[in-house]
Amino acid sequence: MAKIIGGLTTSHIPAVGNAIANEMYDDPYWKPFFDGYPPVWEWLDKHKPDVAINIYNDHGLGFFLDKMPTFAIGAAHEYVNEDEGWGIPQLPPFPGDAKLSWHIIEGMVAREFDITSCQELPVDHGFTVPMQLFWRGAHANPNMPRAIPVSANTVQHPIPTLKRALDFGKALRASIESYPEDIKVVILGTGGLSHQLDGERAGFINKEFDTYCMEKIIDDPEELTKITRMELVEKAGAQGTEFLMWMMMRGALGDNVKALHKNYHIPISNTGAGTMLLECDGVD
Ligand code: DHB
Ligand code: FE
């Protein structure tokens, strides 16, 4: 049976893709950010997951305002990266797992989550930057797993509630665990933490709120579901709504997790950058 071994969170800021391309790991601006990843590499080296469920939000590459699925799941054999205009080098296609994708989509719809299934889905920085951060060298890294993109709308209101995001994760867990093959699965929640890139509050970061979210998501994610979407925009910023990805990830990990590693650094670009490694119960 498929087994979920843990969850990883990270920001997916495009400037990180540029810093990786230019190997700026020891640059004074970037070092405190990149120093948050070696403990995650160590854990990934030990457990070697076969598949990464990459929960991210598309920023206008795969979907646009004319068609915006609330929840979408990739069902392709590979996922192509395309130029978004950030100046990040384009990466080769990421191998998928279409058989597992369809199993998950079947499972989610049976659990009353109406999914947009995507047999073609170009993946943007929200997906690619975390793959490069967690599997250094990405395609050159022999341990880079097959990946399945799961996208939720954080761009055009109405966006999902925090409760719906957590419930999505719970249904995702059940859908994955019913897969008959013996594979190890890791869940990524990418994006966030607080940031607002536009309007009067551009540059807004809320360290206190980020710290609260990073604490509560470990042992009491249900408490976070009390935050309304308006409060989320107010406290995390217009794009800080990407915290929904973290909630979806957390829902897929089950009741009890161990937080093995945390890193928080501000600012990277205009964002509070949070990295977490949460291990599922019964994994050692
Ligand atoms: C930026 C873009 C993002 O998609 C994000 O999640 C955070 C920051 C940026 O352009 O700085
Ligand atoms: Fe983003």
Catalytic residues: 125, 195
Following CA atoms 243, 246, 252, 255 in sequence, which dihedral angle do they give, to the nearest 10 degrees? Answer: -90
Q: pLDDT tens digits for 13-44?
A: 999 999 999 999 999 999 999 999 999 999 99
Separation of CA 258 and ligand 1 centre (Å): 28
Q: pLDDT tens digits for 44-64?
A: 999 999 999 999 999 999 999
Separation of CA 30 and ligand 1 centre (Å): 15
Q: What is the CB < 6 Å shell around ligand 1?
A: 12-15, 59, 191, 195, 197, 239, 242, 269-271
Q: Domains plus CATH for the chain?
A: 3-260 (3.40.830.10)
Atom 5, ligand 1: which residue's CA is nearest? Answer: 13
The ipTM (two decimal places) reads 0.95
What six digits make up the tokens of 140? Answer: 């050159």
Separation of CA 271 and ligand 2 centre (Å): 10
- pTM for the full model? 0.98
Measured CA to CA, the distance from residue 192 to residue 55 in angstroms comes to: 12
